[in-house]
Amino acid sequence: MRSITIGESTFSCQPDETVLETLLRENVQIPNGCRQGLCQACQMRSLDNSPPVSAQAGLKDTLQMQNYFLPCICHPEQNMTVALPNQQGASIEAAVIKKQLLTPDIVHLVLEYQSPFNFFAGQFVNLTRADGLTRSYSIANIPQHENILEFHIRRLPNGQFSSWVYDELELGEQLTISEAQGSCHYLPGRAEQPLMLIGTGSGLAPLYGIIADALAQDHSGPIHLYHGSRDLNGLYFIDEMRELAAEFDNFYYTPCLSGEDIESEHVRGRVHDIALSSTESLSGWRIFLCGHPDMVNQTKRMAFMKGASMGDIYADAFHVLQVEK
Ligand SMILES: Cc1cc2nc3c(=O)[nH]c(=O)nc-3n(C[C@H](O)[C@H](O)[C@H](O)COP(=O)(O)OP(=O)(O)OC[C@H]3O[C@@H](n4cnc5c(N)ncnc54)[C@H](O)[C@@H]3O)c2cc1C
């Protein structure tokens, strides 16, 4: 008999039981639906041992690597400590060591931490300030940069957290950082696969990290970045991206502007239209989509219709809380 630990409690899993059946029998509230490994509503994460491979069927490769599994089809092979995706792991403290404008609206924030912290470039964390206000932001750097996390934060007019970062947050101040979350990151293994990355505004943050990671891991297939914004206030790192394209033969960069008054050097149009019309088929491509939720959700569908496999589409929509005004 195997034991299942969740939070402070440990339960025995009977030989013929799944992890989900054990937890439900013990009145632990776990969202669930089909109980056949199809709907993925009960998705959990093993915090210690690797889950059985059969219990990860159908999950994205990036989630499998992080030990996510489906408890409804999991007959444990060893004792497991598990958590729901929204159960926070250990958080750490970090201090602001750099704050600089990338555009009139977007701040480059660099935090330094001292405790051990694991992440993949492109994942996101929840940042919490001293009074408890918390928002999600994507990590823009690769783990090789020791003890540093970089963020690109766009100021929303009257946005509580982003305006505070922009106007008030000072060097040396501490923020609390949750464990890194999300499946939108690079995985080595299919080095020749073409990559297409599409982002709007500060959606470049995770894509920047993913590109740096792919290049650092010798990705040899073409890497196409399309960065879009309505106007120039949303585009940044233009010179850096052009320098990267000059340095790496397999990296291509297309900045796009969708507004009326644009300079001739930029491609005009909506970033996802331009990106998707650049190729006949997306069959065999790996796609990364980050930024405005409308763009992300629409492009996910369009990329699938154009031949990309759903398993090869990685996305983070920058949803904002809907605040009554
Ligand atoms: C997984 C994930 C990753 C994210 N990563 C990033 C990131 O890397 N960089 C980043 O900048 N953001 C990112 N975000 C968004 C971020 O979490 C916050 O939602 C955002 O910064 C706004 O927070 P706020 O407290 O400033 O605004 P809030 O105080 O929460 O206010 C939001 C309000 O602003 C309104 N609003 C929305 N858009 C506009 C607009 N254009 N103009 C005026 N009002 C508007 C909304 O209706 C809502 O009422 C991410 C979100 C998610 C879910």
CA of 238 to the centre of ligand 1 (A): 23
Phi-psi region of 73 (alpha: psi -120 to 50; beta: other; left: phi over 0): alpha
CATH code at position 302: 3.40.50.80
Q: What percent of the chain has pLDDT over 90?
A: 83
Q: List pLDDT tens digits, range 128-185.
A: 999 999 999 999 999 976 799 999 999 999 999 999 999 999 999 999 999 899 999 9
CA of 107 to the centre of ligand 1 (A): 13
Beta bridge partners of residue 197, listed in sequence order: 225, 288
Ligand 1 in contact with 124 (CB < 6 A)?
yes
Residue 186 within a domain: no
Q: List pLDDT tens digits, range 290-310.
A: 999 999 999 999 999 999 999
The C-alpha R_g of the chain, in whole angstroms, comes to 21
Atom of ligand 1 at shortest range from CA of 154: 11
Number of domains in the chain: 3
Ligand 1 in contact with 157 (CB < 6 A)?
yes
Q: How confident is the model at residue 87 (pLDDT cuts 50, 70, 90)?
A: confident
What is the number of other CB atoms lying within 10 angstroms of the CB of residue 9?
10
Question: Domain residues for 38?
Answer: 2-83
CA of 257 to the centre of ligand 1 (A): 21
* Domain endpoint, select from 177, 204, 239: 177
Atom of ligand 1 at shortest range from CA of 324: 49
CA of 292 to the centre of ligand 1 (A): 9
Ligand 1 in contact with 108 (CB < 6 A)?
no
Backbone angles phi, psi at 209, to 5 degrees: -65, -40
CA of 229 to the centre of ligand 1 (A): 16
**Co-location of 53 and 105 in the same domain:** no
Residue nearest to atom 17 of ligand 1 (CA): 136
Q: List pLDDT tens digits, range 179-234.
A: 899 999 999 989 999 999 999 999 999 999 999 999 999 999 999 999 999 988 88
Helix, strand, coil fractions of the chain, as percent rounded to 5: 25, 30, 50
* Domain endpoint, select from 51, 83, 115: 83
Residue 188 within a domain: no
Residue nearest to atom 10 of ligand 1 (CA): 153
CATH code at position 116: 2.40.30.10
**Co-location of 167 and 232 in the same domain:** no
CATH code at position 54: 3.10.20.30
pLDDT at 164: 98
CA of 141 to the centre of ligand 1 (A): 20
Residue nearest to atom 19 of ligand 1 (CA): 320
Is the pLDDT reported for residue 259 higher than 60?
yes
Ligand 1 in contact with 135 (CB < 6 A)?
yes
Pocket test for ligand 1, best of 133, 149, 318 (most atoms within 8 A of CB): 318
Shortest CA distance to 282 belongs to which of 304, 307, 247? 307
DSSP secondary structure of 48-104: SSPPPGGGGTTS-HHHHHTTEE-GGG---SS-EEEE-TTS----EEEEEEEEEESSS
Ligand 1 in contact with 196 (CB < 6 A)?
no
Ligand 1 in contact with 129 (CB < 6 A)?
no
Atom of ligand 1 at shortest range from CA of 151: 8
**Co-location of 41 and 123 in the same domain:** no
Q: How confident is the model at residue 262 (pLDDT cuts 50, 70, 90)?
A: low
**Co-location of 35 and 70 in the same domain:** yes
Is the pLDDT reported for residue 20 higher than 80?
yes
Whole-number Å distance between alpha carbons of 69 and 50:
9
pLDDT at 323: 55
Under 8 Å CB-to-CB from 39, ≥6 apart: which residues? 33
Ligand 1 in contact with 166 (CB < 6 A)?
no
| Token pair belonging to 126 | 């929840």
Atom of ligand 1 at shortest range from CA of 206: 8
Contact by Cβ (8 Å): 106, 30: no
Q: Which of the 8 DSSP states describes residue 231?
A: S
Residue nearest to atom 24 of ligand 1 (CA): 159
Ligand 1 in contact with 130 (CB < 6 A)?
no
Q: Which of the 8 DSSP states describes residue 212?
A: H
* Domain endpoint, select from 147, 177, 207: 177
